[in-house]
Amino acid sequence: MGGRLSFSPAVAVLCCAAAALVATGLGSPAQGCYSRIFSFGDSLTDTGNYVHLTASKSPSPYGEPPYGRTFFGRPTGRASDGRLVIDFIAQELGLANVTAIQVGTGPADFQHGANFAIISSTANNATFFAGKGLDITPFSLDTQMLWFRTHLQQLSLQNGGGGGNVLSDALVALGEIGGNDYNFAFTKGMPRETVRAFVPAVVDKLAAAVEELIGMGARAFVVPGNLPFGCAPLYLQRFRGAGAGEYDGQTGCLSWFNRFAEYHNRVLTARLDALRRLHPDVTIVYADWYGAMTSIFQAPGKLGFTNVLRQCCGNQTVPCGKAGCAVCDDPSTYGSWDGTHPTEAVYKVIAGGVLHGPHAYPVPLAKTCPPPS
């Protein structure tokens, strides 16, 4: 979940970065109908920001082999063995290489949008957690929104303050985010019901970001819910003393934590319904990551998984990415890559369900386009 570090937004590198994008007009999408993707989230979506920002201070295991070995053949800063949901979505929409905002260096890097997601990010900011005795991470959705506003400002400055709105034909991928608000609290041993009371504040943060982005011109969103984290090896190990009654008989997952994720998702989907009513001209797709991943836990063999409740890489003594960590032969048969994060194989199933159904509401993402202005 990432170590501590002081926060210094490396936005300066973005100077001049997006000039070409605006100067040459907004361009036409290579395929599909979105011109770019702006993405926000945590370790389930980060494609390099965290490892880039922390590299000089305390190199992160996420930047070490065998991370990245299945697809990229090297660590890329993704907390998995290969591609994430955002990579599969970008690929499908013809927008490969949505560059991590801290990693891009030149104008060409941001032609297809930018990824603001960062490992360890919470939805709520430090003020929320300090009031609860949790002093956890310098990165929040507010941090990412700050980077985003700076990025947009630079685009606009480069264009003499005028020009088209880069958001009007963009897809905004907002999340998954909020999982860490709960993870960190559970890790600190906070009582379950106290953590449950965080849910409305997390969903408020997400809704506020949607509202702000709509105000800036965004017209299409995909918003994922939480995963069934009661099936994650991290939780299964931490709560391994749990009584038999705590486990789901069919999947072997910890029922209470999965019900917690379902509760978060219910509050989130109700809020998205309200946002759709307020903004009938905006497309908002709920991405049911929970349902997609649950389909794997309920029938692993059907999809080629043989070790759904196990991690492929590392263990509690020698975590993945540390020298000498153990790694399985075939990650595509595992549910978890490193105990906390899914394998590429799982992400592929989730992305398929979101893009083509049935794990998207009200329509599969691949069937959407930015609404006409």
Q: Which residues bind ligand NAG (CB under 6 A)?
A: 96-97, 125, 127-128, 142, 315, 317-318, 324-326
User: Of residues 42, 142, 181, 338, which has the active-site annotation?
Assistant: 338
Q: How far is the CB of 48 from ligand NAG (least distance, A)?
A: 10
- Whether 373 is a known active-site residue: answer no
Residue whose pair of structure tokens reads 């494609």 in the numeric block: 47
In terms of CB distance, is 128 or 289 closer to ligand NAG? 128
The C-alpha atoms of residue 311 and residue 250 are separated, in whole angstroms, by 19
Q: In terms of CB distance, is 97 or 187 closer to ligand NAG?
A: 97
* Closest distance to ligand NAG from the beta carbon of 234 (Å): 15
Residues in a beta bridge with 223: 286
CB-nearer residue toward ligand NAG: 223 or 325: 325
Q: How far apart are CA 359 and CA 299, in angstroms?
A: 16
CB 120 within 8 Å of CB 1: yes
Distance CA 98, CA 110 (A): 7
Minimum CB distance to ligand NAG, residue 366 (Å): 19
Tokens describing residue 347: 């992400």
Judge whether 338 counts as a catalytic residue: yes
CB of residue 353 vs ligand NAG: minimum separation in angstroms?
24
Residue nearest to ligand NAG (CB): 326
**Measured distance CA(279)–CA(287) in Å, rounded:** 19
Our CB check for ligand NAG shows the closer of 144 and 295 to be: 144
Task: Name which of 84 and 293 has its Cβ closer to ligand NAG.
Answer: 84
CB of 324 to ligand NAG, least distance (A): 5
Taking the least distance from each CB to ligand NAG, the nearer of 299 and 318 is: 318
| R_g of the chain computed on alpha carbons | 20
Structure tokens at 203: 């969903």
The catalytic residue among 39, 43, 121, 332 is 43
Tokens of 293: 């991943």
Shortest distance in whole angstroms from residue 233 CB to ligand NAG: 12
Cis omega (within 30 of 0) for bond into 358: yes
CA distances from 7 to 46, 137, 139, 230 (A): 17, 9, 8, 31
Nearest-approach distance from CB 201 to ligand NAG, in angstroms:
8
Helix H or strand E encompassing 113: strand 113-115
Name the maximum alpha-carbon separation found in the chain: 64
What distance, in Å, lies between the first and last C-alpha atoms of the chain? Answer: 41
Closer by beta carbon to ligand NAG, 274 or else 326: 326
b or e along 350-370 (b: 16 or more beta carbons within 10 Å of the residue's beta carbon)? bbbbbbeeebbbeebbeebeb
Please enumerate in sequence order all residues whose Cβ is within 8 A of that of 179, keeping only pairs 6 or more positions apart, or say none.
42, 44, 226, 227, 229
Q: Which residue in 223, 350, 218 sits closest to 274, CA to CA? A: 223
Q: Annotated catalytic sites, by residue?
A: 43, 338, 341
